[in-house]
Structure 1
Amino acid sequence: MVTQDTLREYAELAVRVGVNVQPGQLMVLASPVDCAFFARLCVEEAYRAGAGEVRVNWTDEYTDKLRYEYEEQSSMASIAPWRIQQKQDDIDRRCCFLHIKSSTPGLLAGIPGEKLQAVRVAEELAFEKFEYYTMANHGQWSIVAVPSIAWAKKVFPELEEQAALDALWDAVLAGVRIGGNRDAVAEWQAHITRLAENSRKLNTYHFQALHFRNGIGTDLTVGLAKGHIWEGGSSRADNGAVFVPNMPTEEVFTAPDKCHVNGRVYATKPLNYQGKMIRDFWFDFRDGKVCAYGASEGEDVLKNLVEFDEGSAYLGEVALVPDDSPISRSGLLFLTTLFDENASCHLALGASYPENIEGGAAMDRKQLEAAGANQSKEHCDFMFGSPDMQIDGILSDGREIPVFRNGVFAFPE
């Protein structure tokens, strides 16, 4: 059973390394009501770190489910003006955002996909102008996970509730490098340095494209955007604060060239999207756009993803994660992208991150699109890495350089 001291260590890591709240800064914490025990520790640690104000926005997925079951779609898709104004006020104050995730995979399985899509589109339209604040790293943001019994039973269905919860806590804490008398902050600093070195190596090649192949049928060539930059581990906000957007993180990532992706890719892990599970799915790309897709389960919500808006049928991110990452070695399927994407190479349908384009943070959307970076209100990662993944980097003169062999980095010496 997780101890109070361990929870406090995790909260301190989330606040001081993850979101890295600055003296006098407003920290906006989004937390499920079931995670109040951890949220309170984060609030305390934020004030100890010098935060000027901490506000908690509480959420409850079970209340949300009841709303989807009983409330009219038109009502749910009507966004209260005060919510938009509050977001505007937070960003005007140059806040930082810390998110606690603890969602139950597949909770909304019985909700019609059209209703889920309508509500999500309405929310994205209402808050679209604020997305750039975090997408372009103008302010700090970070996401951490807190296990719940409902989530734990999905990951460990064979265990009793408390045993499942304890096992998931062990896995989550191992993923964020807490436990075993380790100095978590020091380990994160060393880890960020390793990821930065992988990014540096990739950036020296200026690849024109990456070619992915594996034994289950993935054969995909992903062109890379003009002036693309590989990043990984940490980011830097406009105020100079270095933060870690995702905890855990094992990836290095960059921006594809929107119109130069061709071939087929097979997902290797399920995807929890709009509260529903999508399994055994695949995409065909032609000139950057998804031209065909399929799934053994959840194809209706996969359709919602591809057709969310004009840009959601194109790639916005390509990320490399070696098969020997700690999350992968655990052998667990966490059923949440925050963890599963750190066990596997992944792609994202939807928006690119401006930080992945040279000078991108100062560009507007049209300039980013001209560089090949996709624009969308969506950004959804899906996992396609495998132990036998082979990746070759293609140079501008057509030469190929090995990047991955059998699922791990294989840069030439």
Structure 2
Amino acid sequence: MVSQDILRKYARLAVCVGANVQKGQMLVISSSVDCAYFTRMCVEEAYQAGAGEVLVVWEDEKITKMAFQHESTETLANIAPWRIEQRKNCIDKKCCFLYIESATPGLMADVDGQKMQTVRIAKETAFEPFEYYTMANVGQWSIVAIPTVEWAKKVFPEMGGEKALESLWDAVLSSVRVSADNDPVEEWKKHNQDLMRHCRMLNDFRFQSLHFTNAAGTDLTVELIPNHIWAGGCSPAQNGAVFNPNMPTEEAFTMPYKFGTQGRVYATKPLSYQGKMIEDFYLDFKDGKVTDFSAKKEQETLKNLIEFDEGSRYLGEVALIPYDSPISQSGILFRNTLFDENASCHLALGASYPDNLKNGTEMKREELEKLGSNYSKIHCDFMFGSDDMNITGTTFDGRKIQVFKDGNFAID
């Protein structure tokens, strides 16, 4: 099984490169109880890095499922004031966040989808005033994942529990560049430099739109917001600390113009949403808005996603990931968006990130929306990349540039 030395490397990477907690800063860790052993390591690393305070918020997906099965919608949707005050207190202290994931794919498959939708809307509404803190990178935040037997058996159903867990650990550690004989901090410095090089290249072209096509049937044009910025890898928070929001990450992403997407896109990987797995689906767009959709599995869950609020019918992100990227080449379907989105070009329904627009983090919500940025209480990525994906970019001065050919970058 994974050695203590490897786990320690991973914890140090999550705290010092992911969240990059600063001297005297508060770190808030959200973690499953199944990851307690790793979370304790992260707490230790945070204090060693000089954190002034560490708060751990525990979660248990099995207890959450039992609550959905037995409590009323009204009870579940009643967000306790102390929870809102706790979040406000942390943000008032200018904290940073670390999220440790270990969700079991499809765990909530038999839970009432409408109940989950109502509760999710209540939670997002209650915590909405605080979402800008992370969406606009006011403070640092990062997401990492820890394998569990339940998750591993979904990824490797042909294996026994312990063998599946070992295989998933190997895949996760490889994706975050942690091994017995390397320095993952140095590996991530190099990786961030490579991602920033791609972003600079894309920014230099100043694309007005991107046209995506593949044999699956995707024929989609995504107009980009003027003065958009491609980003990827590490990001600077407004306090100056440089952090990595997602570990792993392989993407270069930017902001679509809210009303500028036309055509049809087919998903190429399942999407885990609210504990359910949406599979084999497509979306039709006209003037930026989803006008039609279908899924062979979890159609109702896809409907709930699209109809979450007005902004969830529009795109908030377009991201490019080459087919020959390491996670894609592993051939593993993780059934977890943190990993699967970094194996495939993806789009996000819902909110845009303000830092994908020039001076966007200095603008108020109304200013951003006036320029064509999308606002929503949610942000949900879905994957549509493939080994035959072709992308043609049209620049603001009318040039046509082949950006992707057969799934990989055609520009350098």
Shorter-chain TM-score range: over 0.9
Distance 2:281 2:407 in 1: 20
Q: Name the Cα RMSD after superposition.
A: 0.7
Please show how residues 115-264 of structure 1 align to structure 2 within 5 Å.
115-264=115-264
Stretches of structure 1 lacking an aligned partner (at least 5 in a row) = none
Please show how residues 357-396 of structure 1 align to structure 2 within 5 Å.
357-396=357-396
Secondary structure of the residue aligned to 1:281 is: strand
What CA deviation, in whole Å up to 9, does each residue of 1:226-252 have, x standing for no partner? 210000001111111000000000000
Match of residue 400 from structure 1: 400
1:398 offset after TM fit, Å?
3.0
What CA deviation, in whole Å up to 9, does each residue of 1:172-214 have, x standing for no partner? 0000001151221111000000000000000011110000000
1:373 offset after TM fit, Å?
1.1
Which range is displaced more, 352-361 or 179-188? 179-188
Identical counterparts, % of pairs: 62
Confirm or deny: 8 A CA contact 1:389 1:406 kept in the other structure: yes
Question: Does 2:32 correspond to 1:32?
Answer: yes
Confirm or deny: 8 A CA contact 2:148 2:165 kept in the other structure: yes
Match of residue 3 from structure 1: 3
Q: Provide TM-score, normalisation by structure 1.
A: 0.99
Which range is displaced more, 344-353 or 399-408? 399-408
What CA deviation, in whole Å up to 9, does each residue of 1:108-153 have, x standing for no partner? 0011111010000000000001000000000000000000000000
Match of residue 353 from structure 2: 353
1:366 offset after TM fit, Å?
1.1
What CA deviation, in whole Å up to 9, does each residue of 1:206-225 have, x standing for no partner? 11000000011000000001
Off by >3 Å, runs of 4+ in structure 1: none
What CA deviation, in whole Å up to 9, does each residue of 1:246-283 have, x standing for no partner? 00000000000000000000000000101111000000
Confirm or deny: 8 A CA contact 2:6 2:180 kept in the other structure: no
Please show how residues 246-325 of structure 1 align to structure 2 within 5 Å.
246-325=246-325
| 1:109 maps to amino acid | A
Q: Provide TM-score, normalisation by structure 2.
A: 0.99
Distance 1:365 1:119 in 2: 25
Confirm or deny: 8 A CA contact 1:227 1:371 kept in the other structure: no
| 2:285 maps to amino acid | F
| 2:58 maps to amino acid | W
Confirm or deny: 8 A CA contact 1:79 1:122 kept in the other structure: yes
Distance 2:397 2:169 in 1: 49
| 2:55 maps to amino acid | R
Confirm or deny: 8 A CA contact 1:219 1:264 kept in the other structure: yes
Distance 2:206 2:371 in 1: 14
Question: Does 2:32 correspond to 1:52?
Answer: no
Distance 1:347 1:21 in 2: 30
Distance 1:401 1:217 in 2: 21
Distance 1:390 1:70 in 2: 48
Match of residue 69 from structure 2: 69
Match of residue 343 from structure 1: 343
1:319 offset after TM fit, Å?
0.2
Which range is displaced more, 360-369 or 260-269? 360-369
| 2:240 maps to amino acid | G
What CA deviation, in whole Å up to 9, does each residue of 1:294-351 have, x standing for no partner? 0000000000000000000000000000001110010000000000000000000000
Aligned pairs, number: 412
What CA deviation, in whole Å up to 9, does each residue of 1:73-103 have, x standing for no partner? 0000000000000100000000000000000
Distance 2:282 2:269 in 1: 11
Question: Does 2:70 correspond to 1:109?
Answer: no
1:381 offset after TM fit, Å?
0.1
